[in-house]
């Protein structure tokens, strides 16, 4: 049999299977070789979508798991936005993960796929990236953008590791992440979080940006930091908002700093920016 599966889903299965195996046989210290053998009996080709490592539980078993797969003769194919050298960057106990990277580079051929034309950027330029809508209409517009950029993939919850903790992503697929404004700018996040998000995705969809009067100065400051991080990392952004960029924050002590943010949001709508943005 051949099997294609989202990597995140597969690892959840693996942890559940290991837990069940240990409950049945308490003496079995490491069930991974037996689990790999069982998988190999059913599947000769395993294809992983969106191969990425963002938590210590996965990081600590991947080396043993893949070694067992290779011993059993399973062929592994994976797509990823991340070169093996950059997997689990900044993760806890990453030094213990490095041998797995060596296994990958020794046993797997790494191929960089570069399309001559990036149709995703064409779609983005055609569809527009800034919607002055809120609520149901905005959600519908952003649903269409997400579907177009991910080839109709289903958005899965994701996590971005940041200095020993994680930022939760409500929905992500194929390098595109979607957040409500509240998740990124009403929570106590800062530059390290936004930089990690900018590194993890090539496109951010930001929904329901409200007007930012003086009472929302903290939210406005966070948005300034967020847009700076995305702009510097050449990330594309798609926004639904209550007003045009230069009308979002016009009063209070954050208004001056927000002028640059508004200017950048306007620039990020341009075809030049979209085509120059990261495409990994």
Per-residue confidence (pLDDT) for residue 114, from 0 to 100: 67
- Using alpha carbons, select from 160, 124, 157 the residue that is nearest to residue 142: 124
Q: Which residues of the chain have pLDDT under 70?
A: 28, 114-127, 279-280
Per-residue confidence (pLDDT) for residue 5, from 0 to 100: 85
Encoded tokens for 9: 């889903």
At 214-230, the pLDDT tens digits run 999 999 999 999 999 99
Name 174's Cβ contacts closer than 8 Å, sequence gap at least 6.
50, 149, 150, 151, 153
Per-residue confidence (pLDDT) for residue 78, from 0 to 100: 92
Per-residue confidence (pLDDT) for residue 29, from 0 to 100: 76
Integer Cα distance of 93 and 185 in angstroms: 29
Per-residue confidence (pLDDT) for residue 126, from 0 to 100: 67
Tokens 């209550």 -> residue: 242
At 55-88, the pLDDT tens digits run 888 888 998 899 999 999 999 999 887 889 988 8
User: Where along the chain do its domains lie?
Assistant: 2-107, 119-276
- Using alpha carbons, select from 164, 156, 184 the residue that is nearest to residue 54: 164
Per-residue confidence (pLDDT) for residue 128, from 0 to 100: 75
Per-residue confidence (pLDDT) for residue 262, from 0 to 100: 94
Per-residue confidence (pLDDT) for residue 164, from 0 to 100: 86
Per-residue confidence (pLDDT) for residue 268, from 0 to 100: 92
Q: Which of 3.30.160, 3.40.630, 3.40.50, 2.120.10 is the CATH number of 119-276?
A: 3.40.50
In DSSP notation, 244-272 reads: -GGGS--SSTTHHHHHHHHHHHHHTTSHH
Per-residue confidence (pLDDT) for residue 274, from 0 to 100: 84
Per-residue confidence (pLDDT) for residue 116, from 0 to 100: 52
């Amino acid at each position: 049999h051949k099997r294609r599966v989202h990597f995140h889903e597969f690892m959840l299965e693996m942890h559940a299977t290991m837990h069940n195996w240990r409950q049945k046989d308490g003496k079995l210290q490491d069930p991974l070789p037996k689990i790999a053998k069982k998988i190999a009996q059913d599947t000769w080709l395993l294809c992983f979508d969106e191969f990425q490592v963002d938590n210590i539980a996965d990081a600590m078993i991947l080396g043993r798991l893949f070694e067992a797969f290779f011993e059993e003769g399973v062929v592994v194919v994976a797509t990823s936005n991340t070169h093996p050298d950059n997997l689990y960057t900044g993760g806890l106990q990453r030094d213990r993960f490095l041998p797995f990277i060596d296994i990958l580079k020794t046993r797997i051929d790494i191929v960089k796929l570069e399309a001559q034309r990036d149709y995703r950027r064409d779609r983005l330029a055609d569809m527009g990236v800034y919607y002055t809508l809120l609520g149901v209409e905005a959600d519908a517009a952003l649903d269409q953008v997400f579907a177009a950029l991910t080839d109709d993939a289903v958005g899965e919850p994701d996590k971005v590791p940041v200095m020993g903790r994680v930022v939760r992503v409500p929905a992500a697929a194929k390098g595109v992440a979607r957040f409500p404004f509240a998740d990124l700018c009403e929570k106590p996040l800062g530059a390290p979080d936004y930089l990690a998000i900018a590194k993890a995705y090539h496109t951010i969809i930001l929904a329901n940006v409200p007007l930012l009067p003086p009472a929302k100065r903290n939210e406005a400051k966070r948005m300034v930091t967020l847009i700076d991080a995305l702009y510097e990392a050449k990330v594309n952004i798609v926004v639904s908002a209550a007003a045009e960029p230069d009308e979002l924050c016009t009063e209070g002590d954050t208004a001056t700093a927000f002028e640059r943010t508004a200017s950048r949001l306007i620039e990020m709508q341009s075809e030049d920016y979209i085509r120059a943005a990261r495409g990994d």
